[in-house]
Amino acid sequence: MIASISGEITQVLEGQIVIMVGGVGLLLNLPEGTCLACKPGDKRAFHTYLVVREDQLTLYGFETLEERDLFVNLIGVGGIGPKIALATLTALTPETIRRAITGDQPEIFANVPGIGKKTAQKIILDLQGKIQPLEPLGAVARMDEIDAEVIEALTALGYSIVEAQTALQSLSRDEHAADAETRLRKALQYFS
């Protein structure tokens, strides 16, 4: 198993990079946000996971151990392959994924391209005991319901899930405590 790699990025492709490690160029699949932050010539380190299939070996890279662990958990769910797991980590933050699982909110996963309602429910059922909550369950507010509502509204307006997530994360603490309509208005201001 290849647990981590570090080296110089020589090429940036769509969702992938080529990273030189000991004179060998390795093709590494990354979440979209991570890939966009990479530039040829950068020296970077990634936590990795090697997916072995009958006809190919595919290496996936992540900036944090938490992302890698979530990826491994997601591909362990029936019907979720590496591409959909990577798309989930592109569309949702690790914190959002944890809160969706521990808060029993499959609608958050249903916003990810390639995941329908049944698959979203299966993710929740399969991972509920495996994913630890970020804070005690009693303290977890149902803020994610409002976030999901705002994300749904933004995607209906033509923004991608990544853009919607970024706009939500840009809100101040006071704005984040507001109702859905106020949060949507503030998130739209992010784009102007």
Q: Write the burial class of residue 174 (CB in 10 Å: 0-12 exposed, 13-18 middle, 19+ buried).
A: exposed
Phi, psi of 16 (to 5 degrees): -145, 155
Tokens of 56: 């190919």
Distances (CA, A) of 28 to 43, 61, 71, 93: 14, 6, 14, 20
Q: What is the pLDDT of residues 59-116, one digit of tens each?
A: 999 999 999 999 999 999 998 999 999 999 998 989 889 988 988 889 889 888 889 9
Rounded mean pLDDT of 21-29?
A: 95
Side chain identity at residue 17, one-letter code: I
pLDDT higher than threshold 50 for residue 136:
no
Looking at the fold, whether 73 and 36 belong to one and the same domain comes out as no
Looking at the fold, whether 69 and 55 belong to one and the same domain comes out as no
Looking at the fold, whether 77 and 128 belong to one and the same domain comes out as yes
- Pick from 56-65, 87-96, 139-148, 174-183 the range whose average pLDDT is largest: 56-65
CATH number of the domain that 77 lies in? 1.10.150.20
- The 3-state secondary structure of 29-84 reads ECCHHHHHCCCCCCEEEEEEEEEECCCCEEEEEECCHHHHHHHHHHHCCCCCCHHH
Residue of higher predicted confidence among 152 and 137:
152
Side chain identity at residue 122, one-letter code: K
Residue after which a domain boundary falls, among 20, 35, 62: 62
Show the domain range for 158: 141-191
Among 103, 132, 107, residue whose Cα is nearest residue 120: 107
C-alpha torsion angle, residues 3, 5, 9, 11 (rounded to 10): -40
pLDDT higher than threshold 90 for residue 44:
yes
Q: Residues 191, 167: contact at Cβ < 8 Å? A: yes
Distances (CA, A) of 93 to 26, 67, 166: 26, 9, 10
The DSSP line for 125-164 is HHHTTTSPPSS-GGG--THHHHHHHHHHHHHHTT--HHHH
Rounded mean pLDDT of 152-164?
A: 83
Residue of higher predicted confidence among 133 and 14:
14
Looking at the fold, whether 130 and 98 belong to one and the same domain comes out as yes
Rounded mean pLDDT of 1-16?
A: 92
